[in-house]
Amino acid sequence: MVDHPIRILFVCTGNICRSPLAQAVLQRKLIDRGIQTDFLIDSCGTAADHLGQQADTRMRRVARSHGVMIDHRARRIVAGDITGCDLIIGMDEGHMRTLTSLARQLPEPGELRKLLWYVSGSAEGAAPDVPDPWYGGQEGFERVFDLVDAGCEALAERLAVMREG
């Protein structure tokens, strides 16, 4: 049992596709396990291009087709996110570089991971990226959903075990 909610932050570029999807998928998986109150899940982006916008319509449509509702407005990462979260999860290598650079400048940053590390269990640099579906077609959004779902399933399993320990 955890004595305070564990704060988890997902990060992508614009905070309108991958990270809000991961936030919604992980929340759904934690609810399904009955452990959602032990975790606070959020998401943000490294860029400010879409501040205040809803998640991309195509991403919301794909998520909804899998029973996941994305209710989020885009925001940009701030220093308090790095120090205020226990776990910060990037979607690709570019996000990890940005997060690592920010974390070096701050006291006591949260743990940094790439989402698909939870699936591969490999060395951090070897974990695959979750590609940005923004410029692609419907198949790209479906593929991103599958990757995020797999990553969040593996993460939810780890969180459930951690909670029990």
Give me the active site residues, please: 12, 18, 132
Cβ count near 60 (within 10 Å): 22
Rounded Cα–Cα distance for residues 19 and 14 (Å)? 9
Rounded CA gap, 68 and 75, in Å?
A: 20
At 149, give phi and psi (nearest 5°): -60, -45
120, burial (CB in 10 Å: exposed 0-12, middle 13-18, buried 19+): middle
114 φ, ψ (degrees, to nearest 5)? -95, 140
